[in-house]
Every structure is written in C-alpha cells, then in structure tokens.
Amino acid sequence: MWRACSAGMAWVALVAGAGAEARADLFVLASGGRIEGTLVNRDQSPRETYVIQTAVGQVTLAKSQVEQWLRPRPAEAEYERIHTTFPDTPEGQWKLAAWCLEQGLAAQRKTHLERIVELDPEHAEARRALGFSKINGRWTTQEDVMKSRGFLRYRGRWLLPQEVEVLEKKDRTEKAEKEWAQKLDRWQNGLGTDRDTVARDAIRAIVDPAAVKALALLMKRDSPEKVRLLYADALARIGAPEALHALAVSSLHDASEEVRLTCIDNLAKTKSHEVVGYYVSQLKSKDNQIVNRAAVGLSRMGDRSAVLPLIDALWTTHKFKIVTGSGSSNGISSTFSSTGGGGMSMGGGPKIIKKELRNQAVLDALVMLTGVNYGFEQRNWKSWYASQQQRGTIDARRN
C-alpha cells in the first residue's frame, strides 16, 4: 500500500512540477538569455519595467532588456486550473487525456496517457494512443519493432544502417563540394591580381575528387581560356571517373580549340574505357561538329573497339534550317548551320532539310586505328572489319 501511495504521490508531484512550468511566463532577453517566472506587475501601463517572480527570487528588468514576453495559452491556463480535479484512476486520467486532445495539449495528454498505463498496463485505448500494438500477446511500439529488425530512425524515416551510411556520405560529399566551389570562386577572383601566384599554386595543388563538380561547372562558364586550361589540368590530376568525364565533355564542347586539345591530351594518357564509350556515344550526335570532334578524341585514345562505330559514322545525316529571302538577285538565298552543309529553297519561310555528310575526322580516326584506308566506302570497311574479326585481330568490345 505504501508503495502504491508513493507512486501516486510521485506522479502528482511530476504533474504539479509540469504545471508550474506551464504556468510560468517566458521572457526572452535582448542579450539572448531567457527567464521563466510570473510577471508581478502585469497591470503596469505604459510598460517601463518587468518585475518577475522566479523560483529563486524576484528580478526587475527594464523594458529595453526584454525582447519578447511569451505567455501561456488560455488552454494551458485552464489545464492548470482543472487537472488536479480529475481522480488518479484510469477512468479519470482517460477523461483528462481526452480533454487535452480537444484542446491541442499534446505534451500534457501524453503525460496522462502514460499515467493510465502505469495504473493499468492492459489499458488498450491508452496503449494504442501512445503508439503501442499488441503482438504475440505483448504490447510493443513501432519503434521497438523496427529497432528489433535492425532499422534506425533517421530524419523522420526508418532506414537500415547501410542506407544511413549512404545518406551521411552524400551529405559529407555535398558539403565538401560546396566548400570547393567557394574556394575556387575565391581563387579565380584572385587571378590577375596581387594574389595571382597564390591562387595559381592553390589550383595546381588540387587533387581532391570533391572538387570535380565545381571544376566542371567552371569549365562550362565564360572563364578566360588560360583559367580553363588550369582547371583542365586540375581535373586530369584528380583522375577520378567524374573528372575524366568532365574533361571529355569539355574536349567536345569548349569554344577554344586549345582547351579541347589539352583535354584530349590529358585523356589520351588514361586509356579510359569509359571515355571511349562516351566518345562513341557522341558519334550519334545531332551536331555534325560534335561527331567529328568525338572522332578526334577516339583517334587519340587508341582503342580499336571503336572501329565499328566509326565505320557507321563515316556518313551521318543531320537536319539544317534554310532561310530564304529577297536579299539575293534571284530571290533565293540559303543559310545552314555552321557545322556544314548547303542547299537552297524557293520562297516561303525557314525550311528544315536533311543532308547526309561525310566526316573527314572519322575517316582519319579509322586510318589511324587500323592502318588501312577504304575512304568513305562503308561497304568495303565492313568487309574488311568482318575479315579482321574472323582472324581475331579486332576487339569487338562495345563501350
């Protein structure tokens, strides 16, 4: 009996303590501190001071010292007035928990639900309200079940430790990438100034794969050619697959021939199958200029598995827009994209035509890789290729 009474008294003390905290006003100070207590001079108008009764004594503050005065909600005040009138029984606490639910007092409701379970461990409604389910005759929570299965609660979701590790690694990578973006931006701003030497040395020292994303973005931006050359060398030093891919993209799309060739020079040293695969995929580009640049890259990579795709790309078909007008003496003029081609159209607005082009850079790459030359005769190239396969002198591997 004494133990039961003691438990009840302890719970009453706990609720009373929570109530005292709920009743207290919260004063947020301009200095950043906080004080909890009851405002003694509530009726002062205009407000000049805050006289606060705290647990350790009375404190007086000037109005300028208090940034915010937070008062309990009406429901909280009503809770403090009525909660002690409910009996400490499962039925009484259940009624009080229901009242708390109606008033939106989640923390107080949880306190009373937990008290019900203390008084009656088999109280099904309270158990379910607390998130318990009965499994194999035992009350358990979803948290207990998921933990028993090896899951971790992470950012509001249940995940396996391996999934958490992947997410945390991703977070670390993104953080490092942002830091590199800031560093590179600072160093690029230092180029050409009194900090030029320090900035160049810093860029030339980059070997961290986390810098690849920032370097790749800077390669695509309108940075000076000499700066892009610095970035290309940095990507080559890093040498990670992502860095090589960024170099391959720049080797096809950079506006500067020197930058493109520098990228290819760096890539040729790697003999990367992934880069070969990327160049092969670009032989099917809609842009004829990219087709030929990809062929240049393949010729430097020296991988004979690219021979058949190159044969297929000796001739490629591309679309061009013809613009006609009255500017010429006969009323006919034509304009093709800068990637090649030509043609004409009579009258009307812009027209789209298809034109088959032969690609000299593709032929040059084939000659370099094979040591033979069948010109642009694809049939002869394919016959030769088939004979080489039969002899086992061509690697038919596709990338």
CATH code assigned at 254: 1.25.10
> The domain that contains 48 carries what CATH number?
2.30.30.100
Grouping H, G, I as helix, E, B as strand and the rest as coil, residue 392 is coil
Grouping H, G, I as helix, E, B as strand and the rest as coil, residue 358 is strand
Number of structural domains (the chain) is: 4
Q: Are residues 215 and 292 in the same domain?
A: no
Q: Are residues 100 and 211 in the same domain?
A: no
* Alpha-carbon gap, residue 211 to 178, rounded angstroms: 9
Q: What is the pLDDT of residue 324?
A: 67
Amino acid identity of 314? L
Q: Are residues 64 and 131 in the same domain?
A: yes
Q: Are residues 333 and 307 in the same domain?
A: no
Element (H, E) at 109: helix 106-119
Q: Are residues 39 and 15 in the same domain?
A: yes
- String of b and e for 256-292 (b: at least 16 CB within 10 Å)? eeebbebbbebbeebebeebbbbbbebbebebbbbbb
Strands 157-159 and 315-322, sheet pairing: unpaired
Digits of tens for pLDDT over the chain (399 positions)? Answer: 334 444 444 444 444 444 444 457 889 999 989 898 889 998 999 999 999 999 899 999 999 999 998 887 888 889 988 999 999 999 999 999 999 999 999 999 999 999 999 999 999 999 999 999 988 889 998 888 889 899 999 999 999 999 999 999 999 999 999 999 999 999 999 999 999 999 999 999 999 999 999 999 999 987 899 999 999 999 999 999 999 999 999 999 999 999 999 999 999 999 999 999 999 999 999 999 999 999 999 999 999 999 999 999 999 999 988 876 544 444 444 344 444 444 444 455 788 899 999 999 999 999 999 999 999 999 999 999 999 988 876 665 544
Establish if 159 belongs to a structural domain: no
Q: What is the pLDDT of residue 71?
A: 81
Among 40, 29, 25, 32, which residue's Cα sits nearest to residue 65? 29
Q: What is the pLDDT of residue 24?
A: 75
Q: What is the pLDDT of residue 350?
A: 82
Q: Are residues 306 and 373 in the same domain?
A: yes
Q: Are residues 16 and 125 in the same domain?
A: yes
Establish if 127 belongs to a structural domain: yes
First-to-last alpha carbon distance for the chain, in angstroms, is 81
Q: Are residues 339 and 385 in the same domain?
A: no
* Alpha-carbon gap, residue 15 to 20, rounded angstroms: 9
What distance separates the 2 farthest-apart alpha carbons in the chain? 116
Could you say which of 80, 106, 135 is where a domain stops? 135
Q: Are residues 114 and 210 in the same domain?
A: no
The tokens for 254 are 């950079």
Among 282, 301, 277, which residue's Cα sits nearest to residue 292? 282
Q: Are residues 265 and 294 in the same domain?
A: no
Whole domain around residue 308: which residue ranges? 288-314+359-399
Q: What is the pLDDT of residue 18?
A: 44
Establish if 368 belongs to a structural domain: yes
Q: Are residues 127 and 8 in the same domain?
A: yes
